[in-house]
Amino acid sequence: MDYKDQLEHLNHPDRRMQPNEPNRLDLESAYRMHKPLLLRVAYRLLGTVQEAEDAVQDTFVALQSLHAAAIEYPKAYLVRAVTNHAINAAKSARRQRETYVGPWLPEPLLSDGSATAASGDPAENVLRQEQFGYAWMVMLEQLSPPERAAFVLRETLHYGYEELAGLLGRNEAACRKLYSRAKAKLAAFETAGKARNCETGADEGAAFVAAFMAASQHGNFEPLVRLLTDDAVLVSDGGGKVRAALRPIRGKARMLAFFRGIRAKGALQGELLPVSINGQPGLLLRQPDRPDIAICYRSTPGGKLDGVFMILNPDKLAHVRLFGA
């Protein structure tokens, strides 16, 4: 069944329709009304801005060839269409990532937290308001595309199992099983010490940003390392296009040696800017003769940091247009 045929079967009652939502689908008004929600759903399922935009755009392009005016309950129809498109795209992306050079990290969403950060692209502005933390995006990579869809739709958009069944095209029992497997996988990931808590507080974020900026300027990384747990891990994503560690760096001592080494090579030279990354404090390193680097972290309930993420792949920072850049 091709994508157009799949869309023919998506006309499903929407139990969450807003009072002012049209009962029949007018493409232009539906695009304006639902695009922000659809972009956030697609981004949370796919982890990249471009793929999220493609999922939403392809859905509306496909609708142009259908009898869109006859579609009832537009919101449910569109969420289900974008979700199905994203699940299929995610399955394809997982196969392609088998040949990806080094660790694969989600594309970060950066903002300086002010209106001046807005670009001329409304889609980018919508996604920059994303508050689904970056550490959660990393965690979701442990799930299969259907598990991820069930978890995202239930945990972040608060759909019930009956609604999930309609959106995912499965029965309620299957949706419960998908969600249960997703929760179990994430819990096992935490138990293994690979993550502890994806909710990050302002205090930890401010301390991380200040310590990293000071260390980069003066070369003393000891205060930064003291913020880390003993088994902290650093993951860097260069995608084979920028030099980066090909494997995660584990432990405070190795991370300290890594930071000292890249600073000695001039890799931290440039302008470090405090930014918001997926709604949490982070840093953007701007270098005139090198690609940008986005840097963020993952914290634990005790206030320590057990993960540092460095995104260097220029393809994943192509949408960054901050501070007059």
Nearest to 110 by CA among 258, 310, 275: 275
Backbone angles phi, psi at 282, to 5 degrees: -160, -170
User: What pLDDT does 129 receive?
Assistant: 52
Specify the pTM.
Answer: 0.82
Handedness of CA 57, 98, 151, 300 (dihedral sign): negative
Helix (H), strand (E) at residue 290: strand 290-299
Q: Which domains does the chain have, with CATH numbers?
A: 3-102+140-187 (1.20.140.160), 202-317 (3.10.450.50)
Q: Report the pLDDT value the prediction gives residue 300, as an integer from 0 to 100.
A: 83
Using CA atoms, how far apart are residues 316 and 319, in angstroms rounded to an integer?
A: 7
pLDDT of residue 183: 93
DSSP state letter for 117: G
Each of the 325 residues of the chain gets a pLDDT tens digit; together they read 444 444 444 444 443 434 444 445 677 888 888 899 999 999 999 999 989 999 999 998 888 776 655 677 788 889 999 999 999 999 998 888 888 999 999 999 988 754 334 444 444 455 545 557 898 899 999 999 999 999 999 988 889 999 999 889 999 999 999 999 999 998 887 655 444 445 555 677 889 999 999 999 999 999 999 999 999 999 999 999 999 999 999 999 999 999 999 999 999 999 999 999 988 899 999 988 888 999 999 988 778 999 999 999 999 998 775 444 3
Q: What does the pLDDT read at residue 4? A: 44
3-state secondary structure at position 293: strand
> ∠ CA(150), CA(151), CA(156), 5° rounding?
115
Helices (H), the chain: 3-8, 27-46, 49-64, 74-96, 122-128, 134-140, 145-155, 161-168, 172-191, 202-218, 222-225, 252-264
The span from the CA of 49 to the CA of 317, in Å, is 10
Residues near 136 by beta carbon (within 8 Å), at least 6 away in sequence: 198
